Structure 1
Amino acid sequence: MEKLVKYRDELAKGVWGYWELGAWKPLGISARRRARIRKEVLLAEQDWPYDPARKEIRTKRKGHKVDRIAAEKRANTAELMKKMPQMLLDYKKRRWEKKMKDEESRKHG
């Protein structure tokens, strides 16, 4: 713990180093020494606030665009097939209405 007190100012400056007057300055202690101090502190069951923020892990796997598009097309086709009976009825109704309209125009024409 006394080592942590000794290096607290240096560790608080950043994980790897810091910018000062437009120039990058590495930490005064080496990464190896920093890691050793961190390990000792964690083994003594103290908290170590100087770790960098972790990025969240990517859960979505990379793949081929072709596979993704094919899956989307299959899903879209399944949705359309559910609507198919209604679409057919609408189509037959439109055809029937057009046929009636044509017959009406022939009678009056």
Structure 2
Amino acid sequence: MAAKLAAAAAKAVAAAKGAAANGYQYSWREKLAKHKDELAKGVWGYWELGAWKPLAISARKRARLRKEVLLAGEDWPYDPPRKEMRNKRKGHKCDRVSAEKRAHTAELMKKMPEMLLDYKKRRWAKKMKEEEEKKGKTA
């Protein structure tokens, strides 16, 4: 009995090696047709009735199938849409902040003559107002 099982196993292995040697392996088109519904459910899995269900096809098999399809020149519509790349700045924040401060200071320096004139006018107006109040109290 054990000999029959061993012989059957040896024949199966030999048949598998023979098929691989002939160049025919399980075609990616057949694999794609077989797993089409499962691949359409998502990349990692899906929610069904409030419970998370992983895909019936493993990630390794999915990746291998994807690679075979792409190498054959076909398109793979089952990837999730790519998000837009972030434009994260590189470098230290202190350098960026100091550069912004320098730019802001340069803008303020351009406005400085007007700011000084406004300050002098306010100070002069305040002085005149105080003098008028003193005259009003003494009179």
Q: Above 0.5 in TM-score?
A: yes
Structure 2 length normalisation: TM-score?
A: 0.61
Deviates more, 1:86-95 or 1:67-76: 86-95
Q: Distance in 2 between matches of 1:9 and 1:73?
A: 57
Q: Name stretches of at least 5 consecutive residues in structure 1 with no aligned partner.
A: none
Q: Report the secondary structure of 1:25's partner residue.
A: strand
Distance 1:37 1:96, change over 3 A: same
| Counterpart in the other structure of 1:44 | 72
Which has more radius of gyration? 2
Distance 1:97 1:19, change over 3 A: closer
Deviates more, 1:23-32 or 1:75-84: 23-32
Q: Is residue 77 of structure 1 aligned with residue 105 of structure 2?
A: yes
| Counterpart in the other structure of 1:33 | 61
Match among 68, 74, 82 for residue 96 of structure 2? 68
| Percent of residue pairs bearing the same amino acid type | 79
Structure possessing the higher relative contact order (Cα contacts under 8 Å, 6 or more residues apart): 1
Q: Name stretches of at least 5 consecutive residues in structure 2 with no aligned partner.
A: 1-28
> In the TM superposition, what whole-angstrom CA distance separates every residue of 1:10-46 from its partner, at most 9, and x where no partner exists?
1111111122222222211111111111111112222
Q: Report the secondary structure of 1:15's partner residue.
A: coil
Shift of 1:77: 0.8
Cα RMSD (Å): 2.6
User: How many correspondences in the alignment?
Assistant: 109
Structure 1 length normalisation: TM-score?
A: 0.74
Match among 9, 20, 25 for residue 48 of structure 2? 20
Q: Report the secondary structure of 1:57's partner residue.
A: coil
Q: Distance in 1 between matches of 2:37 and 2:133?
A: 94
Which amino acid is 1:48 matched to?
W
Q: Distance in 2 between matches of 1:18 and 1:107?
A: 86
Match among 68, 75, 86 for residue 114 of structure 2? 86
